[in-house]
Amino acid sequence: MNSETITAASAGTWKLGDLTVNRVGFGAMRLTGSAAFDLGTPSDRDRSITVLRRAVELGVNHIDTAAFYFSPLRSANELINSALAPYPDDLVITTKVGPGRDPSGTWLPWATPEQLRGQVEENLRQLGRDHLDVVNLRANGTGSIAEHFGALADLRDAGLIRHLGLSNVRPEHLAEAQAIAPVVCVQNRYGIDARRSDEFLHTCGEQGVAFVPFFAIAGEGREMGASGTNGDEILAVARTHRATAAQVRLAWTLHRGPHVLAIPGTGNPDHLVANVAAGALRLSAEELALLESRHQGESKRGD
């Protein structure tokens, strides 16, 4: 693949409400270092800014972030603001709220509904925006999300948020949220080695809701690592296309449906170019069947 000539438009587009995005986007978590939530080594600031600007040059118009994406000395939102403001008219920034902190600063599973407004305002401040394009409520556990999602729906009605989404949720959460306000996207763990959300992915497609996998390149249990173990099936397809295993993983994800978006994250300019180029990788029916056989084999070994 001649990655340098491929842009994010190669995979087509989808609409988040009334906002059109290219299906290959960018995840900002790794801009801060090796991980979020205070972990990892601070990234090189100039390199991170270069990656963001290059992403937009390559046609990326959907960036996924959160106010809690930070490591020592680095905030993903501050980097986005510094690199891209004033923002292109077609750039859609999706952010997340949900985890809270107690007075000592310790992370808690949930923010209170009152704290959610503070998180929204903090995202606005860091990004330098007067409204947020899309806000995902990141759920924790299996309990009801109605109170928390309702709080965000109120902020949407107040004009601080344009569209709402969900992250780390189950189908019953989507139904619960849809009864309160429209949901434009669901962001869940999903990839060729992590298929627990298969049925949910199809449900989202039937409802016109974007399904946005996170950790699509990482293998099972490798959330903070680079990529998972690449079996013979992935490597064989990669050789056929002169592509990388990571590109095959991303291409497979995009083949799951026109409503599936990709948000691979990286702080490496070369990896960025390769990730965007994965949107142009077309897998044949035989190749998809071969990759499916990998999943079936993994499932049997997990029984």
Helices (H) and strands (E) in the chain, counts: 10, 13
**Domain residues for 270?**
11-302
Q: Write the pLDDT tens digit of every residue in 251-275.
A: 999 999 999 999 999 999 999 999 9
pLDDT more than 90, % of the chain: 72
Q: Which residue has the higher pLDDT, 67 or 105?
A: 67
Q: Quick one: which of 23, 16, 39, 26 has its CA closest to 269?
A: 26
Categorize the per-residue pLDDT at 303 as very low, low, confident or very high, splitting at 50, 70 and 90.
very low
Residue 163 pLDDT greater than 60, yes or no? yes
How many domains are contained in the chain?
A: 1
pLDDT higher than threshold 80 for residue 8: yes
Top pLDDT among 124 and 299 is at 124
**pLDDT value at position 221?**
47
Q: Given a cut of 50, is residue 22 above it in pLDDT?
A: yes
Query: Is pLDDT of 170 > 70?
Result: yes
Q: Which residues are catalytic?
A: 69
In a domain, 16, yes or no: yes
**CA-based nearest residue to 8, from 56, 53, 47:** 56
Residue 43 above 50 pLDDT?
yes
Decide if 6 is inside a domain: no
Instruction: Tell me the C-alpha to C-alpha distance, in Å, between residue 111 and each of 22, 143, 233.
Output: 31, 14, 43
205-255 pLDDT tens trace: 999 999 999 988 875 444 433 444 788 999 999 999 999 999 999 999 999
Other C-beta atoms closer than 10 Å to the C-beta of 247 total 25
Report whether pLDDT(99) > 50.
Answer: yes
Task: Identify whether 48 is part of a domain.
Answer: yes
Residue 2 lies in a domain: no
DSSP string, 56-108: HHTT--EEE--TT-EETTEEHHHHHHHHHPSPPTT-EEEEEE--EE-TT--EE
CATH of residue 261: 3.20.20.100
Q: Estimate the crossing angle of helix 76-84 against helix 45-57, to 10 degrees.
A: 60
Is the Cβ–Cβ distance between 139 and 169 less than 8 Å? yes
Per-residue pLDDT, 302: 47
Is the pLDDT score of 46 beyond 50?
yes
- The whole-number pLDDT of residue 42 equals 58
Q: Mean pLDDT score of the chain, rounded to an integer?
A: 89
Is pLDDT of 162 > 80? yes
Q: Is residue 262 classed as helix, strand or coil in its secondary structure?
A: strand
Cis geometry, peptide bond prior to residue 86 (ω within 30 degrees of 0) = yes
Flag whether 53 is in a domain: yes
**For residue 3, is it within any domain?**
no
Rounded-to-integer distance, Cα 83 and Cα 151, Å: 31
Asked, for residue 198, whether it belongs to a domain, the answer is yes
C-alpha closest to that of 227 among 249, 195, 242, 212: 249
Q: What is the pLDDT of residues 52-85, one digit of tens each?
A: 999 999 999 999 999 888 776 789 999 999 999 9
Residue environment code for 163-193, b if the CB has 16+ CB neighbours within 10 A, otherwise e: bbbbbbbbeebbebbeebbebbbbbbbbbbb
pLDDT for res 121: 96
Report, in this order, helix, strand and coil percent for the chain, each rounded to 5.
40, 15, 40
At residue 34 the predicted structure's pLDDT band, cuts being 50, 70 and 90, is low
Confidence (pLDDT) at 44: 87
**What per-residue confidence (pLDDT) applies to 294?**
67
C-alpha closest to that of 294 among 230, 243, 245, 251 = 230
pLDDT at 39: 46
50 within domain boundaries: yes
- The dihedrals phi and psi of 163, each to the nearest 5 degrees, come to -140, 160
Q: Which residue has the higher pLDDT, 49 or 303?
A: 49
